Amino acid sequence: MCGIVNFGLVSKKSVVTDAIWAHVQPFFPKHGPQDEAGQRLFFEAVVHVCLQGLTWRGLPERFGNWNSQFQRFNRYAAKGWWDKVFNSLTDKMIAELQIDSTAAKLHRHGSGAAKKGGHKPLGAAVGD
């Protein structure tokens, strides 16, 4: 399977292919060779959250503490790190990760659907 494991069941297998990891890994800050496994686990946690449309609190325990992963994600986002990483991915890599607009799930109130009856101007009478 193209790098994504069957997400219907939580698997212990890697979420990201070795080829994609080899491409992404140089973008991570250098903290020593012992941190490479933690970096990959973090990247896989982010991909998992994106693909599953989870909240960070819903992150499976195998990815580590959800709050630690969330805080790290936010720090990287504030520095523009994610833009650099995802802009560097090829179309083939993105297809392997299966990340597209259908992977990002909205809360039901975030869909922007019009309310029944449409919008009424301020000051309109209740019966109008």
Break the chain into its structural domains and give their ranges.
18-107
DSSP state of 107: P
pLDDT of 5 higher than 50:
no
Q: What is the pLDDT of residues 10-55, one digit of tens each?
A: 345 667 889 999 999 999 887 766 588 889 999 999 998 988 888 9
Q: How far apart are CA 37 and CA 35, in angstroms?
A: 6
Q: What is the pLDDT of residues 55-85, one digit of tens each?
A: 999 999 999 999 999 999 999 999 999 999 9
Cβ neighbors of 7 (< 8 A, separation 6 or more) are 48, 51, 52
More confident residue, 29 or 121: 29
